[in-house]
Each structure stands twice: as C-alpha cells, then as structure tokens.
Structure 1
C-alpha cells in the first residue's frame, strides 16, 4: 500500500522514464496554478498530490499490457487518470472526453504544454463522440457503473479492458449490476487507498453495436 508522497513518487518513477517524470512534474506545477482559478481537484488533496492523484492514476497501468489500443478516458476533468497515462505513455493514443468548457480548455493547454501529439481532447458529451474501438476504457468520478456501461459499451470490443476507479462504492456498484454483466468484472484493491477499489474487466461486444 502506498502510504506517503515519497512512496507514491517512487511508484510512478518505477513505471516510466525520466522524460515522463519531467512531464508529470510540469503537470503538477500547472495543476497547482490552475486550481487557484478553477476547482479542478479538492484543494486539500494538493498536499498529497502524488498519492491522491498521480500514483492513483498510474496504478492503472499495472493492469494493462505494454502494447494496447486507444485509451478512452471518460469525463477527464483535471486530466485524471487520462492525462497522467498520456504523460507516462506518450506513444499510446489517448482520448480525453470532457464536456465542460473550462476543463476542455485546460486539457487542451496541457496536451500542448506536455507535448503529447498522440493525445487528443474530445470536447463534447460522450453521446456525441464518434464510435471507435477502444483498447482501454477508464473513468474516475464520471458516473455510476451501470450508467458508464450503458453510455460507453459502443466503444468496447471483446478485447477492451475496463479500468474504473470507484472508491468505496466499487463492490456495491458491481453487485447492483445484472448478474450477466457483474460476472465479467471484479474489484481490485486500490494501492493508494485501503478503502477504495478499481473495477476491472472486459465487456464482450462489438464497437458500434
């Protein structure tokens, strides 16, 4: 379990190269500045930003093969986890979906600031985003699990990996799904919070269906 900022930083550093760590440092600096203008994250969490936001995002990589298809991040907001993933894996295509204007502008600035040409921002509601086959679908504080699956199953193939940090509600939200769906997923313990879980699984289907 990651229990300190030092451990969180080491966790991230072990999963990327020095150039990626430099990008993360620039992201944190910009996040602190922007958070004074708009509430991207809860202000107290900036005191433990590596643990609460960066390592919390980076831990998703432990579930993903080294090579994967496009990463679709729903309701990216401050850029968590999608922008962190893009900064750590700049060769991967990452799509950040966000509908709030100020958050869209922030994400677009960060993609340029961190020099992430394979990361793009879809500034629209998810329902308006053109369907494509995603390799990974992630969402942090986006919507209840059943709603996430309903909205985004058209991006999923039988090979798509779903990674959904759900905090303390993970087990209950999974239990509330119909059995035919819940059997496809399981809860992994978060490495940054002993009370939190990550819903992991694959939803059989075909993109666009």
Structure 2
C-alpha cells in the first residue's frame, strides 16, 4: 500500500477535520523524530500506511458505550493517539489514556495532543507501576509477548472490557503460549495494512 492509498483510505473513514488533525500529528512526528526515536527510521517513509492507518483500524472495534481506553506503551502515539484523534469526532464520550515510561516520548505525546486539539491523558510511568485504571478497552502495539500483555491488561479491564492487541506473523504461537495461563476469548482480525499482521480482539480475559 502506497502512502497516497493509505491517506485515501483514511479520508474515506474520517472527516476532513480529523484528517487535518492527523496531518498535524504526522508533521510533528517527523520533526521530533530528528531528536527522538519515535518510530523505526526505516518505516518513516511509510508513516501513513505502516503506522497511522494501521492504528486507525482499531476504531472499528470500539464497542457501544465505551468511555475509557487505556493504551499501553504508547511510544510515538500508536495506536492510542491516532485513535484519540478519530474518537474526538466519532466517539466524543471516549477518553483515551496513554501510558509511556520514556519521559521524552511522553512530552511528545502531550505536545502532539495539544497541537492536534485532542484531549488525551498521558501518564509517564512504567506499566508495572500503574495503579488499576478501570478501562473498557486496553490496547498495545509492538510492546511485548501476548502472555505479558495479558498480565499487563488484566488489572485494568472492567467487566465486559476487551483488549485490542496488534500482532505479527507469530500471533498463533503467542496465542497458544498465552492460553497456558489465561482463559482467552479471541477473535483474530486480519490487518488492513499487512498481510502477515493481525488484530487480536480479546474478551473475557481471566486467569486459567
């Protein structure tokens, strides 16, 4: 998928105003990337397809009535800040909290949210030190093995809450390992940007 195709796909999903917010975000990320490693340098030329559209696809999984979204290890803002930008229009009652232990990346997230005009809470601390934060959705992208993500997410999920974890080609192996210690009701959703990648929609997460 080319960058033009990715932007066109986004333009078909969001308003011109939201696309404008994402353009502000993309420009700011490219600027900060010169001093902070927000994304792998080799992927910067595919910013819209590899990162922004890849994050935006999670919005199709937001359940009705969701009001609290916790994004773990937000890094440069994927998927949490992208989803917050879209939710500002499509789900105005949904509050997104971004957890990022790197102080410089947390500063970027705050500045990006400010310049985009998006409300998002940024918590600069380690996930392991985060007190229970009741959430309808917990997300993570390229953060840790699935079994670890389950342990990270479980304390924060409200009854009926779900996890949205983006995974690569070894997702089936990770899922089998995680099921040794967790009860997992998982829907595997093909990624719209990568033939080998998937989105794992996990519900009813509990200790085995």
- Do the two structures share a fold, i.e. TM-score over 0.5? yes
Greater per-residue strand proportion: 2
Q: Which runs of no fewer than 5 residues in structure 2 stay unpaired?
A: none
Residues paired across the two proteins, number: 202
Q: Which runs of no fewer than 5 residues in structure 1 stay unpaired?
A: none
Normalising by structure 2, report the TM-score. 0.90
Q: Deviations over 1:104-162 (max 9, x none)?
A: 11111112111223x11011112222323211111011111111111220111331121
Counterparts of 1:38 and 1:193 in 2: how far apart (Å)?
Answer: 26
Q: Contact conserved, 1:174 with 1:182, CA < 8 A, in 2?
A: no
Identify the residue that residue 157 of structure 2 maps to in structure 1.
156
Counterparts of 1:8 and 1:82 in 2: how far apart (Å)?
Answer: 18
Q: Deviations over 1:14-61 (max 9, x none)?
A: 222221111100000001111111111122212121110011000111
Write the mapping of 1:57-136 to structure 2, written as runs, cut at 5 A: 57-65=55-63, 67-90=65-88, 91=92, 92-117=94-119, 119-136=120-137
Deviation beyond 6 Å, 4+ runs, structure 1 = none
Q: Contact conserved, 2:184 with 2:205, CA < 8 A, in 1?
A: no
Normalising by structure 1, report the TM-score. 0.90
**Which deviates the most, 151-160 or 28-37?**
151-160
Identify the residue that residue 191 of structure 2 maps to in structure 1.
190
**Which deviates the most, 53-62 or 184-193?**
184-193
State the 1:103 CA deviation. Answer: 0.8
